[in-house]
């Protein structure tokens, strides 16, 4: 597990707060290219300035669900950056791209409703 400065850890948003968006977040990350779990989570941390991190169990449960649904596929390969063990890489499928488009439309609608309700 990655260690973060205390200030960053205190600002982390729990995955429970945005659980319904986990699949969309992962699919969006995979639009940038194939990747493996640890790097996907690091990408999320970087994009959110260390304010959000998916729990490992949440991340891998989502991978299994998305793969079962045909939204992503996976394969094993040696990491080109190191001589370490093989890693399981994930890639988005056409069905996953369609699901992401749907989730983005839903997000826009939710944002609109929340702006009305909380204004």
What is the per-residue pLDDT across 20-79, written as a single tens digit (0 to 9) for each? 899 999 999 999 999 999 999 999 999 999 888 888 999 999 999 999 999 999 999 987
**Confidence (pLDDT) at 63:** 98
pLDDT at 80 over 90: no
Cα 43 from Cα 67, distance rounded (Å): 20
**Confidence (pLDDT) at 43:** 96
Decide: helix, strand or coil at residue 76: strand
Domains within the chain, CATH numbers bracketed? 6-118 (1.10.10.10)
Q: Exposed (0-12), middle (13-18) or buried (19+): which is 80, by Cβ within 10 Å?
A: exposed
With cut-offs at 50, 70 and 90, classify the pLDDT of residue 6. very low
**Confidence (pLDDT) at 109:** 95
């Amino acid at each position: 597990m990655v260690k973060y400065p205390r200030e960053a850890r205190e600002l982390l948003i729990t995955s429970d707060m945005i659980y319904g968006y986990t699949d969309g977040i992962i699919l969006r990350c995979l639009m940038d290219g194939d990747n493996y779990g640890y790097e996907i989570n690091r990408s999320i941390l970087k994009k959110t300035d260390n304010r959000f991190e998916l729990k490992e169990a949440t991340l891998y449960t989502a991978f299994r669900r998305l793969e079962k649904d045909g939204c992503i596929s996976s394969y094993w390969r040696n990491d080109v950056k190191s001589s370490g063990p093989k890693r399981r890489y994930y890639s988005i499928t056409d069905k996953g791209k369609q699901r992401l488009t749907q989730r983005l439309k839903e997000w826009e609608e939710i944002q609109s409703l929340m702006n009305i309700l909380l204004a």
